[in-house]
Structure 1
Amino acid sequence: MDGLHLTADLHRCRCDPQWLLDANALGQACLAAVANCGLHSVGQLFHTFPASAQGPGGVTATVLLAESHLCVHTWPERAAVTLDVYVCNFSADHSERARALQQALLALFQPERQQLQEWQRGQSLHAAPAPALAPLVFSPVPA
């Protein structure tokens, strides 16, 4: 396994409110961004949470990718968003596509402040394989 995992915490987003409140609109924007970045959607789930005493309900947009996944969660009462982009790099290196997807979503939400993190996950395709374990040999116990 080998992959790139990107996360972003976005604060004071200045975007059109529909991106924080409308699950279907956000989901369609995510699907378009996925396709524009050369990744491949194989499933999706878009959900709106009910309003509460704290304010309007946020939304979650999840896109299952052939390469792994994209998840976006919004908190409209805080003008905040969290993003999670993970791509597996088993058959090809999709890292630049993942970064382009993250950048497209940053442009959509227009945060005043952002915290970005990036992790390389798993074992590199170019790393030497783990050494094989020596087989166990059972010898009869002398009587």
Structure 2
Amino acid sequence: MDNTIPLLGLHILLTLSTESGAKLKDYNAFTEHTDALLEKHGLEKVGNTYFLFDNNSFTSAICLKESHICIHTWPEIKSVTLDVYLCNYQKDNTAIVKEIADSLAAYFDATISNKHEILR
């Protein structure tokens, strides 16, 4: 690891509010969007698990070589919770974590209700 990178990584936790109810129930479209983000940034998916609820909301954990992205949608309250973390083992991924979090908020046409940035 390059010793000039002072952090283990940036971990962003988001709570989003949105009026785009259809996106909160479309796991396949979310997966396509996320896969495109991963490809754009050269991130490697090593696993993925998900569950579709009776109301078509979903939860998913995407395990990455560099760490993870987790999501839970709440169409009944027009909300999304997101967890995006990339480590800085081989390079500084700070800007990429921010771009992924921003892109996912934009994908859901959401406003940020709550945001925490944790430097690890």
1:14 aligns with 2:19: yes
Higher relative contact order (CA 8 A, sep 6+): 2
Figure out how many residues of one structure are paired with residues of the other and give that number.
Answer: 114
Unaligned runs of 5+ in 1: 51-55, 122-143
- The answer to whether residue 34 in structure 2 is matched with residue 30 in structure 1 is yes
Q: Given the two structures, how large is their TM-score scaled by the length of structure 1?
A: 0.71
Q: 1:25-61 deviations in whole A, cap 9, x for unaligned?
A: 22222222222233222221232012xxxxx242012
Aligned to 2:46: 42
Quote the Cα distance in structure 1 between the aligned partners of 2:115 and 2:83: 10
Give the fraction of aligned pairs with identical amino acids, expressed as a percent: 34
- Give the conservation status (yes or no) of the 8 Å contact 1:48–1:57: yes
Structure-2 separation of matches of 1:90 and 1:37: 15
Asked whether the 8 Å contact 2:44–2:64 carries over to 1, the reply is: yes
CA contact (8 A) 1:33 1:105 kept: no
Change (3 A) 1:39 1:114: farther
2:118 aligned partner, one-letter code: W
Q: CA 1:78/1:120 → structure 2, altered by over 3 Å: closer, same or farther?
A: same
- Unaligned stretches of 5+ in structure 2? 1-6
Give 1 or 2: higher strand fraction: 2
Distance 1:76 1:5, change over 3 A: same
Q: CA RMSD in A?
A: 1.8
Give the distance between the partners of 2:108 and 2:41, measured in 1 at CA: 17
Q: Which amino acid aligns with 1:6?
A: I
Query: Aligned pair in 2 of structure 1 residues 86, 117: CA closer, same or farther (>3 Å)?
Result: same
Aligned to 2:105: 106
